[in-house]
Amino acid sequence: MSPQEWIAEEIERVMDQWIAEGRSADYWRRPVLVGIASAQDPLFNELPRVAAPDHAFATDLLADARSVVVFFLPFQKDVVHSNKREPSGFASRTWAEAYVATNSLIGRICDHLQDRLAVDGHRCAVTPATHNFDEERLVSRWSHKHLAYIAGLGTFGVHHQLITRAGCCGRLGSFVTSAGFPPSRRPDAEFCLVKAGKECGKCVSRCVYGALREDGFDRHRCYARLLENDRHYADLPLVDVCGKCAADVPCSYGTPGVREG
């Protein structure tokens, strides 16, 4: 069994227990996806340029880091459908609740994997699933999306979301470990239809708030919309979400029409 397979099994075991305990509804599809990057991968040196000038390195979190593990929990299709169908213009309540539950679940998963790896003498360092970004510059100091790209989980779409083999609708988690796992192979093709030279652009037309355009992305306008959704669901914990650009588009659940060469 490969490290990716073992980690995926452990993650799904935690998910099954989470559901059995009644922590939340089952918002997630299986299988989960797992990617691994070497902490010494030269692409990490690009993160201060492409993600944030003060983006952390794996060794900033763990001095003897050897691997960065990233996992993706894809949402059930009815969660995504609900976000498209919501007539108010806000994110659907199901989407918001799935966001809250998944962030908590990711914390449980990381704690479990940290304990399991400690049995074999390995150390780990974890970060929150979200809200680890600069609220003025709106850039992340530990970008799960960029880490996932380095770990081979997918490629970026026009909507600036990471498109995995299970699509772009879901949540990413990551942790750093002293275990020296073999790194995953990165895709050798673009998963975004537009970037692969095909017609699409559905994500642009879904963003009616002026944040995502064919010629660029206004992250501040996007964040303003996320905060509007948070105010709309004031009874929930922080839910700065939207996801309209990713809801029921061709890359929501996979990589249709894109073949890896």
Q: Is residue 94 part of a domain?
A: yes
Q: Is residue 7 part of a domain?
A: yes
Q: What is the pLDDT of residues 156-181, one digit of tens each?
A: 999 999 999 999 999 999 999 999 99
Share of the chain above pLDDT 70, in %: 93
Q: Is residue 194 part of a domain?
A: yes
Report the amino acid identity of residue 13: R
Q: Is residue 258 part of a domain?
A: no
Backbone angles phi, psi at 247, to 5 degrees: -85, 115
Among 57, 9, 59, CA closest to 31:
9
- pLDDT in the model for residue 261: 45
Among 168, 173, 185, 167, CA closest to 70:
173
Look at residue 113 and tell me whether its pLDDT is greater than 90.
yes
Look at residue 184 and tell me whether its pLDDT is greater than 60.
yes
Quick one: tokens of 252? 């929501």
Q: Is residue 242 part of a domain?
A: yes
Look at residue 138 and tell me whether its pLDDT is greater than 70.
no
Q: Is residue 90 part of a domain?
A: yes
Q: Is residue 254 part of a domain?
A: no
- pLDDT in the model for residue 141: 84
Give the total number of structural domains in the chain.
1
Is residue 91 within 8 Å of 84, Cβ to Cβ? no
Q: Is residue 11 part of a domain?
A: yes
Is residue 4 within 8 Å of 34, Cβ to Cβ? yes
- pLDDT in the model for residue 154: 97
3-class secondary structure, 38: strand
**Domain span holding position 101:** 3-246
* 22: number of Cβ within 10 Å: 7
Strand segments (E) across the chain:
33-38, 67-74, 124-126, 133-134, 139-140, 154-156, 162-164, 170-177, 212-213, 216-217
Mean confidence (pLDDT) of the chain: 93
